[in-house]
Amino acid sequence: MLMVMLAQSAYSEYYRGWYPPVYLEETPEVRYVDPVVCASETRTAGTAINVDGVNGDDSYAGTSSCPMKTLSAAIGDAVNDDEIVMQSGLYHDNVSINGIDNLVIRAATGATVVFDGTQSITEDLGGVWSAADSDGIQEVTLNQDGWQLFLVYEEQVPARWPNAQFSDETVFNRSYWAEGTLTGSNNAYTKGWLTDAGPEDGVHTGLNETINATGLDPVGAIAVMNLGSFRSNSRVITGWNPSNGTFAYDGAGVDWKTKHHAYFLEGKRELIDQDGEWWYNNTNNRLHYKTPSGQDANDLDLRVKVQPFAISVEGSDDVTIQGIDFFGTTVNFNNCDGCSLTNATLEYPSTSKRGLGIAGESEDDRWMTRFYRSTNSFVDNISITNTDGGAIEFQGSGGQSNNNTVNNSYFHAIDWSAADQKGLMTTIYEGGRDMYFMNNTVHLTGASSVLSIGDAPKIFFNEVWDVGHLQSDGAVVQVMQGEAPGAEIAYNWIHDVIKYGARFDAP
């Protein structure tokens, strides 16, 4: 089946609600390819390189009548100023573009091209699930790492406490986090420790109470903690004191304020207690999953994320990626001037490495949609939805990252943990200067601030609502003292939010 993901712009009538992927039978336009002719066909330099994942072959020349099969093969033939045209298909590729300028990679007119960063556990990876144990949990060995699980292309919940769901958006509800007892006046604990505040009606019974009732050992679990107002961190729990309900963690590098502490736990098999929850043991490559209604996992369409990026651009200028969609994977631009990403839908493009058992991952090496030390970048008419982590980043100082634009794009369900991010840990980040953010729609986010986009930002004609749910402090638009000169913020509709609309830090 071919997944068709519809891009949503800021002015589309349907932008107020997320529409799931539409699945169509993989019956694109019938194209006859003659292997005899293609064995000797050649392509004239300067003409388009054609790719067809259904009818092509990488030994072919890449003409319209004899297309290649993969983007990797096409990139191998490409030189400066080439164009690669892709026919409809579901592609699984990991492509690096290095030192090729003025390259265009686009979908053919009317084609639906989707790069899928997931693979079927049974069909692609050859996995066979064990029988369910007494808790209804099945296991399978993966032949490569998988750090995000999907059932029929919908994300399943990493096992956690307190429980929360994607289906009802409780993962974006801070009430479904547990709380610490520290306030500004009681000095209940110091950095490196956290004492649970006990039960919360209708949500959870308290950590100590849960441990006493279930035998859960929290040591070794990952705690996702909002301890620093607009900054959150993940750390492995290293100790547990049952006498007062306090756990220990490595406090080095943890952002810390003496108020509004909240957390949840991940990363242990014992946390699987609801249908649809999973955990991956990276020491033996075993995936553990509690199927809905006790179904046999071998009979389900279960897929895992196996790659961070489908297309990486390195040291290449004026590269355009146009009309190509991404599921469970994304793009990465490094040291690029004038590169663009347009007319694209990115669904589940990025997630954290906690699924691999990694806590406190480097903020400079997140696997997410990113432009690194890139200038004059153009992002237009794209949709980014369903991420754990920020939506898109532009990294580098003012001399390395500048004059980048995000226009007419849609961001929804962004960052349900809001941890281990760059800078102020916002939805969209720019480390440089002179960024334009215009005509965009943003709603349902976890981080306390939506925009922190460097020096002298230009922010116009955006609609933002229902954001900032999982951290305290913050504002939709955050402008620090040194960023304010040259800033222009006007004609934005910011409504139905629990934060300030715009905040300017002053001396």
Q: Where are the beta strands (DSSP E) in 242-294?
A: 246-249, 262-266, 277-281, 286-290
Query: Number of structural domains, the chain?
Result: 2
- Residues 438, 486 share a domain: yes
pLDDT at 479 over 60: yes
- Residues 339, 436 share a domain: yes
pLDDT at 462 over 70: yes
pLDDT at 12 over 80: no
Over the chain, what is the mean pLDDT? 93
Separation between Cα atoms, residue 409 and residue 412, nearest integer Å: 10
pLDDT of 30 reads 54
CB proximity list for 272: less than 8 A, separation 6 or greater: 135, 137, 159, 278, 279, 288, 289, 290
The mean per-residue pLDDT over the stretch 476-503 comes to 95
Between CA 226 and CA 233, with CA 232 as vertex, the angle to 5 degrees is 110
Residue ending a domain, choose from 302, 321, 350: 302
Residue ending a domain, choose from 284, 302, 320: 302
Residue 435 within a domain: yes
pLDDT of 31 reads 72
Q: Are the CB atoms for 117 and 82 separated by under 8 Å?
A: no
pLDDT at 213 over 60: yes
**What totals of helices (H) and strands (E) does the chain contain, helices first?**
3, 43
- Residues 276, 129 share a domain: yes
- Residues 291, 339 share a domain: no
Phi, psi of 210 (to 5 degrees): -65, -40
Lowest mean pLDDT among 20-34, 70-84, 270-284, 439-453: 20-34
Separation between Cα atoms, residue 384 and residue 390, nearest integer Å: 10
Domain containing residue 200: 121-302
- Residues 347, 492 share a domain: yes
The mean per-residue pLDDT over the stretch 176-186 comes to 94
Q: Are the CB atoms for 264 and 176 separated by under 8 Å?
A: yes
pLDDT of 19 reads 40
- Residues 342, 491 share a domain: yes
Instruction: For 363-419, write each residue's pLDDT tens digit.
Output: 999 999 999 999 999 999 999 999 999 999 999 999 999 999 999 999 999 999 999
Nearest to 188 by CA among 232, 244, 226: 244
**Under DSSP, is residue 230 helix (H, G, I), strand (E, B) or coil?**
coil
Band of residue 22 on the pLDDT scale cut at 50, 70, 90: very low
Residue 46 within a domain: no
- Length reported for the chain: 507
Q: What are the Cα distances from residue 321, in Å, to 151, 240, 333, 385?
A: 29, 50, 11, 18
